[in-house]
Structure 1
Amino acid sequence: MYRSEFYVFDKNLPVPVIVRNYTKNDFSQLIDIQKECFPPPFPSELWWNEEQLINHVTLFQDGALCVEVNGELAGSLTGVCVDFDPNHPSHKWEEITDHGYIRNHQPNGNTLYIVDIGVRPKYRKLGIGKLMMQSMYHIVIQKGLDRLLGGGRMPGYRKLANKMTPEEYLQAIIKGDVKDPVITFLLHCGRVPIGLAENYLEDEESCNYAVLMEWKNPFK
């Protein structure tokens, strides 16, 4: 079981947090996190359900992480192992994650794929999303995988879609001309864009696009 204790800072106040594997006892809080992190117009049917969460903790508990702050779950991060071919990167979220049920988990896969990450809005200034991502990097190294990979939503794109293409939007983020709530966060976490995925997920804010972003294992 993964467990790591840290301090984060709320302005100048140190706040103790715990990054750990989530369990069945956490399911109700995990579903609440989904509701808070992905409000409409994000489809409510894409929030976690109990069957998905049971699969997460039984098929690949190493990839089921949460952050606890003062006894309350503040965020969660879920991963699955897959075989990824960089020469054929195109895919959809539902295909590579088995619609979030991860029954396609491959223990001998080469890539740790991020199924989902979410942090409750009231905790987002504490940097705990980055802590969870770094914890997943530990798992990539421990298991000797090639990379961590995932499709990052680009929820700021809809407001600018009539002015720029998805490719131009991504370049504007990389240049610092535009700040996107998700892509900019992932860049801060050390993730590197490797391409765009069209029709990745039913997501009005992102116009159904996502940016495929990886972190390569530096020991491979």
Structure 2
Amino acid sequence: MYQQQLYVFDGDKPRPACIRNYTEADFAGLIAIQRECFPPPFPSELWWNEDQLRHHVTLFPEGALCVEVDGALAGSMTTLMVHFDPNHPHHTWAEMTDGGYIRTHRPDGDTLYVVDISVRPRYRRLGLGKWVMHAMYHLVVHKRLKRLVGGGRMPGYHKVAHRMSPEAYAEAVVRGELHDPVITFLLRCGRTPLAVVPNYLEDEESGNHALLMEWRNPFLP
């Protein structure tokens, strides 16, 4: 099981933090985080429910991480293992994650797939998302997987959808000509783009598209 003690910085002030596997005792807090992180127009039925979280901690507890700051639950990240062919990248979030229940988890898979990452808005200035993402990179290396992969929402796309395609938007963000709250964050975490995937998730802000992004295990060819 995973547990990492560290300090994060609120300006120049260090604050104690801990990244660890979440458990059933955390379920209420994890659902509250979803409400804060994904307000309308994001569909509320896509927030975690206790049955989904129970599957996470039962089927793949190694891939269920949360982060605390000063002992308070501040964010979480959930993954599962799958077989992934980068030459055929198109899929939906629901297909890959079993609608968030992760019964598609394959212990012999070659890829760690991101189901969700969420950080409470009031904690986002502390860099927690990047820390928990790197904790998942540790898991990729530990299990000798080929990569981590996940579909990044493009919540800034709706602002320019009238004048550019999702692919053009993603390319502009990667070039640094536009800023997207999610894609820019993932680039800063070391993720690299694979493909824009249509109809990935019901997400009005992203036009239902996502940018599939990976982090490859640097210790494997």
**TM-score, normalisation: structure 2:** 0.99
Q: Counterpart in 1 of 2:14?
A: 14
Q: Secondary structure at the match of 2:75?
A: strand
Amino acid of the structure 2 residue aligned with 1:208: N
Deviations along 1:172-211, one digit per CA (max 9) or x if unpaired, are 1111111100000000000000100000000000000000
- TM superposition shift of 1:163: 1.4
Structure 2 alignment gaps of length 5 or more: none
Distance (Å, rounded) in 1 between the aligned partners of 2:89 and 2:209: 14
- TM superposition shift of 1:167: 1.1
Amino acid of the structure 1 residue aligned with 2:26: D
Q: Counterpart in 2 of 1:165?
A: 165
Distance (Å, rounded) in 1 between the aligned partners of 2:9 and 2:57: 30
Q: Secondary structure at the match of 2:163?
A: coil
Q: Counterpart in 1 of 2:54?
A: 54
Q: Counterpart in 2 of 1:73?
A: 73
- Output aligned runs, 1:10-159, within 5 Å: 10-159=10-159
Distance (Å, rounded) in 2 between the aligned partners of 1:181 and 1:217: 25
Q: What RMSD over aligned residues (CA atoms) do the two structures have, in Å?
A: 0.5
- Equivalent pairs: percent with the same residue? 64
- TM superposition shift of 1:60: 0.2
Q: Secondary structure at the match of 1:54?
A: helix
Distance (Å, rounded) in 1 between the aligned partners of 2:99 and 2:119: 21
Q: Does 1:206 align with 2:206?
A: yes
Deviations along 1:47-98, one digit per CA (max 9) or x if unpaired, are 0000000000010000000000112110000000000011211100000000
- TM superposition shift of 1:24: 0.3
Runs (4+) of structure 1 exceeding 2 A deviation are none
Question: What count of residue pairs does the alignment treat as equivalent?
Answer: 220
Task: Answer with 165-174 or 189-198: which moved more.
Answer: 165-174
Amino acid of the structure 1 residue aligned with 2:159: K
Distance (Å, rounded) in 1 between the aligned partners of 2:49 and 2:163: 37
Distance (Å, rounded) in 1 between the aligned partners of 2:174 and 2:86: 21
Q: Does 1:189 align with 2:189?
A: yes
Amino acid of the structure 2 residue aligned with 1:15: R
Q: Counterpart in 2 of 1:178?
A: 178
- TM superposition shift of 1:161: 0.3
Task: Answer with 159-168 or 30-39: which moved more.
Answer: 159-168
- TM superposition shift of 1:104: 1.0
